[in-house]
Chains A and B, each alone.
Chain A
Amino acid sequence: MSSQDDQDEISRRSFLLSSGGMFTSLWIASHWPGIAAAAHHAEEVPADLTPAHFEFFDAADGADVDAICAQIVPSGATPGAREAHAVFFIDRSLSTYFAPMAPEYRKGLAEFQSQFKAVQSGTAFAAATPEVQIAFLKTADKSPFFETTRMLTVLGMFTSPKYGGNFQGAGWKMMGFVDQHAFSPPFGYYDANYAGFVPYGEPYGEKHA
């Protein structure tokens, strides 16, 4: 197998693998390229998300992906993907550390867009009403493109803000994760009300070697 074939196989599999079990998800992207100064690259996180900040997407693509992200994790009483700048994370990641999957992602996005326009008389996804967007996504949520967008949205909401997403910790606030360096007990409701460990006693007792 040639090295290019290897890369293609890896790229294809990474694209398809995002709905597996916990451990599958957990290690899914462990083959993706190394950090490659991504952290430095993402250090300057702008407060306002505007198309001018996109590197991988053009304005129209960015708007469409942002609209998809906003349906994956909607805004509401708590922040959603839009407030967490998930699309900004996706843009940065595809132009840096996840670049090997970028060509396939771009292809998938173009197919998504053309399929949407075909059923919506040329309207862009971002310009459609939420009802129309949701109805369409229900027909398209099994595609590798959607799965990859879903995974990148999650990474963009819940990993460190230094990568350009999870803006001001919006994703962590939404899920109830406190970004603090040290904790002390009690940690939660149930251990705060724990009476203490009661030994099981005889017949086991102390056994000595």
Chain B
Amino acid sequence: MIGRQFKPGEMVDFVVVGSGAAGGVMARELSRAGFTVLVFEQGPRLGPADFEHDELKYWFMSGITVDPKISPQTFRASPDVEAKRAATQPALYARLVGGSSVHYTANFWRFHEVDFKERSLLGSIPGAAFEDWPISYQELEPYYTKVEWEVGVSGLAYASPFDPPRSKPYPMPPMPVKSSGVLLERGARKLGLHAYPAPLAVASQPFKDRPACISCGFCMGFGCEARAKSSSLYTSIPEAEATGLCEVRSASYVYHVDTNARGRATGVHYFDQQKRSHFQPARAVVLSANGAETARLLLNSTSSRFPHGLANSSGMVGKHLMFNQGGDVHANFEHELNEYKSVQVSRVIHDFYDADLKRGFYGGGGIDARINPQPAIWALASGGNLPRWGADFKDRIEAFPRSMVAAGHTTSLAVATNSVSIDPTLKDAWGIPAIRVTYKDHPDDLKMAKFMQDRCAEIMDAAGAKHVWRDDIAEQSYGVHLLGTCRMGNDPESSVIDKYHRTHDVRNLFLCDGSSFVTSGRGQPTMTIQALAFRAGDHIGQFAKRNEI
């Protein structure tokens, strides 16, 4: 799809930085509203023919993820120690057109009503910057429905007793159940729990111009070769380009948002593929670069007027990073499951979604039944005194077709010292100061993960597992859910954006991605990121039409 191609330096209505889950939707909504939109994506544009079933490339060699060779990051567990480069990128995301929506698992849970108002319901929590969202589930509901029908989500409405209210059913039936789903449901029903068909951003039947999933099994960490995964790459981006008003400029890395003497954004500076710097003017700027890169871009966009970074008068830019926690167990069964076939997940349990302070700690989550990771990752999995070599190790590996994972996905509390900041010395391959991640799980997050892991083990036992094993719950040193770093709020002193995603400080600068989150949800953020983007696009378009930008 060839969209509009703007001339060098040509003024556009909106620059959108980032082409992932949020950026794609922003581009689609603003261009369909009649505005000219230029989307910048630092990574390349790839298509179905470029993606492979190649575990080594995507899981071990930064095939499409942010590459530490050119985009290094540092990590520290607390602000009083020096951050160091780590073996794993602390803020891990996919770097290509479509962003992390290309390689995500596509679990598409809506948030529940409680997610938006837990602070009011539960009170404050020591060590956490625990706040309500400035919007309610009801305000976001129409946009969740829009995601399901415009982007394409399969599922079974009203199947979970714990689902929040919805205005429409899903546009597609759920994907076929897998053996892991059958076993999760079997264990759950025995324990009085309620497993239900997983909502997935995967086409279970032909949807718009896309074919149905071919059940190849390479979802998590891989780009979809069938165009069945509802990535921005296959949905919102081509739809934005089809308006004739939107250009997606790939291999173009925005490193600075420019402002004028009146404190308005005037455009962005970016590097093209040859590392030449250019200025792109815009009437308004939207950052959807993900929860790490949006914060970094603001913090790097200093000027005499904004010496501590753009939109940062509150000092909150980069703070309150949340990764989500989780606790898994592996389980082996008598017969073959062959979990490497088809999508990752086919059943989900939300019985433990709500926090219950009677447990003695804050937290909530969901459990899903899923594929073991791909063959090499499976063989490297550890925990529970598993054999590491020899005939016993081989026996364990040969259990691959008979095994599954019950995975808990849980809350992370917002902690002020957990953050994305700018490393004082490290620079990337373009000479731009690099991301420094500071992160230590709140104690309640670890307790909740352990609680959920225990529930997973009980369910697998009830399902008749022959062998259940687990890793210890550990503090996280990297995340793939990058949330909370430019939180939404009504108070300009404690938040970065207002409820319409406009920065409190700069009238024509908007932020929409995982950074907007006030709380973490229960570990499947992309559905809510996209609902926020549809809502933000709607409101920003109206502001623009009323000349209120």
Contact = CB atoms under 8 A, between A and B. Distances in A.
B165 A209 contact: yes
Interface string B176-206: 1111011101100000001011000000000
Interface in B344-396: 373, 375-383, 388-391, 393-394
Most chain B Cβ neighbours within 10 Å, of A159, A204, A205: A159
A66 to B, nearest CB: 15
Contacts of B59: 26-27, 30
Contacts of B176: 185, 187, 191
A9 to B, nearest CB: 6
B87 interface: yes
B466 interface: no
Nearest to A89: B56
B122 interface: no
Contact of B380 (A13, A137, A154): A154
B396 to A, nearest CB: 10
B335 A158 contact: no
B138 A209 contact: yes
Interface string A157-197: 11110110000000110111111011111011111011001
Most chain A Cβ neighbours within 10 Å, of B88, B161, B478: B88
A17 B379 CA distance: 15
B375 A158 contact: yes
Interface stretch (B211-219, B230-238, B408-416): B211-219
A14 interface: yes
Nearest to A195: B182
A189 B394 contact: no
Nearest to B220: A26
Interface stretch (B63-71, B95-103, B313-321, B498-506): B63-71
B354 to A, nearest CB: 15
A184 B391 CA distance: 33
B461 interface: no
A43 B534 CA distance: 46
A158 B340 CA distance: 13
B400 interface: yes
B474 interface: yes
Contacts of A32: 60-62
Contacts of B468: none
A181 B216 contact: yes
Contact of A71 (B163, B197, B339, B390): B390
A155 interface: yes
Interface in B266-318: none
A155 B376 contact: yes
Nearest to A75: B394
A31 B87 contact: yes
B84 A9 contact: yes
Contact of B215 (A24, A26, A187): A187
A165 B335 CA distance: 29
Given A26-B373, A209-B165, A187 B61 contact: no
B92 interface: yes
B528 interface: no
Contacts of B60: 28-30, 32, 155, 159
B337 A190 contact: yes
Interface string A16-28: 0111111011111
Given A33-B61, A34-B67, 18 more contacts: A1-B84, A10-B87, A13-B86, A14-B87, A26-B59, A27-B92, A28-B87, A30-B88, A31-B87, A80-B394, A141-B388, A159-B375, A175-B379, A178-B338, A181-B216, A183-B215, A190-B186, A209-B141
Interface of B: 52-57, 59-63, 65, 67-69, 72, 82, 84-89, 92, 138, 141, 156, 158-159, 161, 163-167, 176-179, 181-183, 185-186, 194, 196-197, 214-217, 328, 333, 335-342, 373, 375-383, 388-391, 393-394, 397-398, 400-401, 425-426, 471-472, 474, 478
6 contacts: A31-B85, A80-B394, A163-B56, A179-B53, A188-B339, A190-B186
